[in-house]
A and B are shown apart, each in its own frame.
Chain A
Amino acid sequence: MALELDSITVRYGQTAAVSDVSLTVADGEVVALLGPSGCGKSTLLRTIAGLEKPSAGSVCWDSADLAGVPVHKREFGLVFQDGQLFPHRSVAGNVAFGLRMHRVDRFERDKRVLSLLELVGLEGYADRRVTQLSGGEQQRVALARALAPSPRLLLLDEPLSALDRALREQLAVDLARLLREAATTALVVTHDHDEAFTLADRVAIMSRGRIVQVGPPAEVWSSPVDVETAKFLGCNKFVPGSFVGLSVERVGLRATALRVADSGALEGTVLERVHRRDHVRLLVEIDGEEYEAVGPMTEVGDRVRLEIDLDGVARVG
């Protein structure tokens, strides 16, 4: 086991931002801490980095307690949401910073900077000023800077949240590839489940300072541990399993669980219609209850038939 968190609690005065959290990250594994804003995930990340001190519990690396090890000796890389590049240094100067701190000689340093810039797709940017870069480019530089000294663990705090959507999705795929290629051990904090599921081998769901569920993305996605987690993961309607023909007590439905199709077994009336990027989202009334559904073009007031798509159904509890 590489990183091991044991019953960590972080208090600010009376309020506990993180309560009794235990988590492990294995060598070469990418784990995502997923949760709504204010759930304590960033505080936990900062505690691991050594920027906050836990009120109780311990942060261990390879079984060695890190309590007495200050930030700059932990060899953990940290990427902030908004880059936090050094404005007085060029792109290369930023990437080389950690190498200089670790007394890597100039020749090695230049070589490593060039290879990292290539890795993040910024060849030829070495001498640019960081203030001239776009948001996506800044975030790539921040990543290269954090990776340069080959940290034992990479901590990413909402690394893509400050970017616009198209760029975010592209960069999430790039980042996932990059973390795999570099065989990096990483912990990613995010509130965006797409981002978490794209990047991570395992996902830990946080809520109000506690970790409520840990597991592979597919498992967490299809079997959220409780209603709150299911809601956070996009379920908006909770019904008995029999509704979708499953022998479980309760399931959560995402919008994609109900699809307009002539062969469908259910029948309802369209109440509202919203165009999304790649589908049409409908609000449908079935037997006096309102459900979300997706479908081809229909008009408000139409009677439609609906079929169930089990990919949009999550078993809850």
Chain B
Amino acid sequence: MARAGLISARSGWSAAALLPLAFLSLFFAWPVLAIVSLGLREGGVVSALFSGETWELVGFTLGQAAASTLVAVLAGLPVAFVLARCRIRGLGLVRAAVMVPFVLPTVVVGLAFRTFWPDGGVLPIILANAFFNVAVVARTVGGLWAHTDRRAEDAARALGASRPRAFLSVVLPALAPAIGSAAAVVFLFCATSFGVVLVLGGSRYRTLETEIYLRTVELFDLSGAAALSLLQFAAVLAVLVLGALARRRRETALSLRGREELARRPSGGEWYVVAAAGLVVVALLTPVIGLVARSLSTRDGWSFAGYAALATRGDRGTLAVTGLDAAFNSVRTAFDATTVALVVGVFSAVVLVGLRRSGGRIAEVLDTALMLPLGVSAVTVGFGYLVTMDALPGDFRTSPLLVPLAQALVVTPLIVRMVLPVLRAVDERLRQAAATLGASPVRVWREVDLPLVGRSLVAAAGFGYVVALGEFGATSFLARPDAPTLPVVIARLMSRPGELNSQMAYAACALLMVVTVGCVLLIERLRVPSSGEF
């Protein structure tokens, strides 16, 4: 009977898991498969797969992703140390400064680096990709570091290990799963990064992601695009599986303790690490400040001309709508996208926790499936929408929900990763206590789980909102000309001549950044206890 009870609970959760899987199938798998099969039908996939040019692309994509990951990990570790172990002033500032780049719209970051490297190139691509992802390393590793028992290190020291030795032989192995999982995610982001490479690489430095875009949009070479999509998908899947393995190892027993009793004032050599972290923070803030400065300066000195121009349609009517209209549209679209992503993401997280508790194998499937949209070319998804969504009732291609849905696909995995660890951390016995006091299962969820994850839900929502706000890949493909979002407008303004246009683009970037920073500061204020896994 015990078995039977467990199995019935499991089949209930498994049935619930079908809902998010259905959502993914309809709005992700179907469009992607449609575009891939379209390419396959045209033939030429095999020849594309074996052409030297393709493998050059693969080489550059993986190479720049590996280099970016290395830079991000090296820059992220000292910051992780400071966030996890040090009790010094200005920690909140460090945390916010690290977070801001991660949620900045890719186009904005591309432009920010263009203010320093006007011609683009490999170095700015690597630095810009790393710039985004320092946050992932710092938060993921710092999250684990903050809760890893310091006494293991103390024991090693007492047994005669030097500081570096203790770090290498005790601390680093304990952190390895977090570093591995962070590196996998960073690698994924860098390998599929779109906006940055497009802005900084132009047509000279191309990755799989930008090449898919160029072939689809400009060359109409669908079979080539399909071949590249398949390649990219395979690589992404491999990285995801590695990441899942790392996460599983991390969930094994570590003696975790509260941060308060572990944080100390740094001493001796630790100040060098703090200084290194300080340098990283300065390096992260430089492009941001450069961007703001650029938006205010013209050939004739400081001016608000770019900001004033946001009320117009740009130089000689570059845009179909005014900058302000685009801003309002952005705000609205991101709101819809966040709502959809929250519903799907929270539901999925709840189901995942339920499945884990009742020991279902399908949990792994759902977990990995939910991460997939992160790794598939947003362009592929966008184009897939165009060829499939007319089959849905009421021609979905012109629906105002199209862009929010595409953005929601990108945001949902992030929400799942933020909410899941917190949900999982709710003590089972706390829920049992509520049940013995007369709370039904639904009531337990409302009275115990929800309040306990409440703050991280708000944080996840805010976080998802800024990511949706900055989403560029799929949006640039799907947004109708009369209803663009701010990142799309920025890209369009940059591609047109005229000083006013570029002035306006920088101003729009600054505006987007202010909104983003505001959201991040708000999230930091909530001081969500979880580390978040991304």
Contacts and interface: CB of A to CB of B under 8 A. Distances in A.
Contacts of B432: 49, 51, 71, 78, 84
Nearest to B450: A88
Interface in B1-17: 1-2, 4-5
B452 interface: yes
A76 B439 CA distance: 12
A267 to B, nearest CB: 50
Secondary structure class of chain B's binding surface, majority of residues:
helix
A271 B429 CA distance: 48
Interface stretch (B38-46, B208-216, B440-448): B440-448
A78 B436 contact: yes
B427 interface: yes
Contacts of A77: 436-437
Contacts of A252: none
A52 B430 contact: no
B435 interface: yes
A149 B452 contact: no
Contact of A86 (B430, B436, B438): B430
Interface string A39-54: 0000000000101111
A274 interface: no
Contacts of B436: 49, 71-72, 74, 76-78, 146, 155
Interface stretch (A97-105, A200-208, A257-265, A279-287): A97-105
Contacts of B452: 87-88
Given A72-B440, A86-B448, A54 B1 contact: yes
Interface in B409-454: 427, 429-430, 432-441, 443-444, 447-448, 451-452
A114 B444 CA distance: 24
Contacts of A146: 436-437
A231 interface: no
Contacts of A78: 432-433, 436
A80 interface: yes
Contacts, number: 73
Interface residues of A, number: 32
Contact of A145 (B435, B437, B444, B451): B437
Nearest to B429: A84
Interface string A233-249: 00000000000000000
A196 interface: no
Interface residues of B, number: 23
A11 interface: yes
Interface string A78-102: 1010001011100000000110011
Given A53-B2, A80-B429, A149 B451 contact: no
Contacts of A10: 2
Contact of B438 (A52, A149, A155): A149
B451 A72 contact: no
Nearest to B452: A88
Interface string A141-174: 0000110010000010000000000000000000
A84 B427 contact: yes
Contacts of B430: 84, 86
A55 B441 CA distance: 23
Contact of A101 (B2, B427, B429, B438): B438
A71 B433 contact: no
Interface in B329-388: none
A226 B326 CA distance: 84
A75 interface: yes
A145 B433 CA distance: 10
Nearest to B448: A86
Residue from A52, A56, A84, A145 whose CB has the most chain B CB atoms within 10 Å: A84
Contacts of A88: 451-452
Contacts of A76: 436
B232 to A, nearest CB: 43
Contacts of B434: 86, 97
A136 B419 CA distance: 33
B393 to A, nearest CB: 41
Best-surrounded residue of B5, B427, B435, B436 (most CB of chain A within 10 A)? B436
Nearest to B436: A78
A97 B429 contact: no
Contacts of A101: 437-439, 443
Given A71-B432, A87-B452, A97 B447 contact: yes
Contact of B2 (A11, A71, A87): A11
A88 B2 CA distance: 32
B426 to A, nearest CB: 10
Nearest to A76: B436
Contacts of A102: 438
Interface in B99-116: none
A116 to B, nearest CB: 13
Contacts of B444: 72
Interface string B226-257: 00000000000000000000000000000000
5 contacts: A55-B1, A71-B432, A97-B434, A145-B433, A149-B438
Given A10-B2, A55-B2, A78-B433, 20 more contacts: A12-B2, A53-B1, A53-B4, A70-B435, A72-B435, A72-B436, A72-B437, A74-B436, A76-B436, A80-B429, A84-B427, A88-B451, A88-B452, A97-B437, A97-B447, A101-B438, A101-B443, A145-B437, A146-B437, A149-B437
Interface of B: 1-2, 4-5, 427, 429-430, 432-441, 443-444, 447-448, 451-452
Lowest 5 A-B CB distances belong to which pairs? Answer: A101-B438, A98-B437, A78-B436, A71-B435, A53-B5
Interface of A: 10-12, 49, 51-56, 70-78, 80, 84, 86-88, 97-98, 101-102, 145-146, 149, 155
